[in-house]
Structure 1
C-alpha cells in the first residue's frame, strides 16, 4: 500500500458496490446476457460481455450490441436477461470477509451505503446472503436512479441517503471508478469482478486489492 491518502482518511461515508464486489455475480451476469442475446440470434463472446458487467442494463446493451439493437430490442433483451438470471440467484454467495469489512468501517465512525442499481428483489437477495441490512446505514436499488454507471448518479444517490459529503467508493469494475471520478470521489478496487490491476487503475482506482480481507486491513490502518 502507498502512503496514506488524506482525502480517503477524511471521508465520512464509504459507498460500497454490491454486484461483483460483495457478492460473486459477475460471471453469472455475463452468462445471462449471453443467453438473452442468443434469443435474438445475436452471439456475443462472453469475454466481451464480461468487460461490460458493472454497467447498468440501460448502458450495457448499446455498449455491446450498438444503438440500433438498443432501439429495436433494448427493453426485450433486458427482460430476457432478467429471466435468464433469475434461476441463478440461488447460487449467489458473498465473498469472504464481507461482514468484517463492513463492521470495521462502521466501527471507524463512517457511514456505510451499499450502492446497487440492481432490481430490488435481486438486491434483497444479495443483502440476505451476508445480513447486509444490519451492517449498512442504507442501500440503493434501480428504483433510486434513472442513469446507471458509468454515470455518477448512483454515487450521488447513495450519499444523499445518509447526508454524506466525502466518500470513498469501493468497487470491482472499471465502471465503478469512472462513476466515482465523475462524482468527484476517491475509489479503491478489489479484483473480485475479474478486471485487471491496470484496467482498474486506468479507470481511476487509487488502490487495488486482491481480496476483501486485504482491503479491510488497509482500511483499518487508515480509517481511525
Structure 2
C-alpha cells in the first residue's frame, strides 16, 4: 500500500543511514576509488559518487561494467570494505540527525534503520549518532536481503521487522526514492548525500530538504 492511500495511517519511518543520518557519502566514494585504482581501474570520480547509495552488489557493474563485475566484483568489494573500515573514525552525524531520530521515536512512530550496508558500519553509525539500538524498531544490514537498493528488499525487511504496516522512507539518493516506490511508499529526500533537489524531485520524492535536521526543526511527521 502506498503512502498516498488513506486507508491505513503511516506508522513507520524507514531511515537510510549513509548520507542521510551520517555524513559518509564521500568517505564511501574515496574507499571505492581506492579499491578501483588498486586494481588498475580508473573510473571518473563523478561516476563513483553518483553510484553511492546503490548496493555494493550492483555498484561495480554500474561503474565499470559487467565484465569487471564478473572478474573482480568480490575482490573490489573486499577492498572497499577494508578501505572504508579505516575511515570509520572520520564519521560524523548529519546536522540534527540525532534529534530527528529521537523526536520520531518520542512521537510514538516505529523507526527503523533500513540500511543495506555492513552491520559493523551501521553499528559504527549508531555509535556516532549516540542512538540506543533498543529504541529502534529494527536495524537492518546487507545480511538481511538478497538484493540491494534500488530493489525494495531491504525496506520490506525493515518494515516487517519493525512490525509496521505502512511506511514513509527518508533517504538521500535517487536509489532510495526508487526503492521506496517499489515497496511501495512515499520518500522524503535530503540533499546531504550530494543529489540535487531537482534530481530527487524528478525521481519522485514527495518532499526535499537540505538535511534531516531541517525536518526536526519543522516538527515533521508523516
Contact 2:22-2:91 within 8 A present in 1 as well: yes
Cα distance in structure 1, aligned partners of 2:93 and 2:44: 26
Relative to structure 1, the CA distance from residue 89 to residue 17 in structure 2 (aligned partners, 3 Å threshold; closer, same or farther) is same
Q: 1:165-209: CA deviations, max 9, x gaps?
A: 110100001100000001110100110000001111122211000
Residue 70, structure 1, aligned to residue 69, structure 2:
yes
Cα distance in structure 2, aligned partners of 1:222 and 1:74: 40
The alpha-carbon deviation at position 135 of structure 1 amounts to 4.1
Equivalence for 2:54: 55
Q: 1:152-174: CA deviations, max 9, x gaps?
A: 00110000111211101000011
Residue 171, structure 1, aligned to residue 171, structure 2:
yes
Relative to structure 1, the CA distance from residue 210 to residue 69 in structure 2 (aligned partners, 3 Å threshold; closer, same or farther) is same
Equivalence for 2:139: 139
Equivalence for 2:198: 198
Relative to structure 1, the CA distance from residue 33 to residue 97 in structure 2 (aligned partners, 3 Å threshold; closer, same or farther) is same
For normalisation by structure 2, the TM-score amounts to 0.93
The alpha-carbon deviation at position 137 of structure 1 amounts to 2.0
Equivalence for 2:184: 184
Contact 2:104-2:221 within 8 A present in 1 as well: no
Contact 1:99-1:135 within 8 A present in 2 as well: no
Q: SS at 1:216's partner residue?
A: helix
Equivalence for 1:107: 106
Contact 2:190-2:209 within 8 A present in 1 as well: yes
Cα distance in structure 1, aligned partners of 2:220 and 2:163: 25
The alpha-carbon deviation at position 88 of structure 1 amounts to 0.4
Any residues of structure 2 matched to 1:89-128 within 5 Å, and which? 89-128=88-127
For normalisation by structure 1, the TM-score amounts to 0.92
Equivalence for 1:88: 87
Equivalence for 1:37: 36
Which 4+ runs in 1 deviate beyond 6 A? none
Structure 1: gaps (5+ residues): none
Q: 1:126-157: CA deviations, max 9, x gaps?
A: 11111222542221011111110000001100
Using the TM superposition, name which of 24-33 and 39-48 deviates more.
Answer: 39-48
Structure 2: gaps (5+ residues): none
Q: SS at 1:161's partner residue?
A: helix
Relative to structure 1, the CA distance from residue 99 to residue 135 in structure 2 (aligned partners, 3 Å threshold; closer, same or farther) is farther
Q: SS at 1:184's partner residue?
A: coil
The alpha-carbon deviation at position 46 of structure 1 amounts to 1.2
Cα distance in structure 2, aligned partners of 1:201 and 1:156: 23
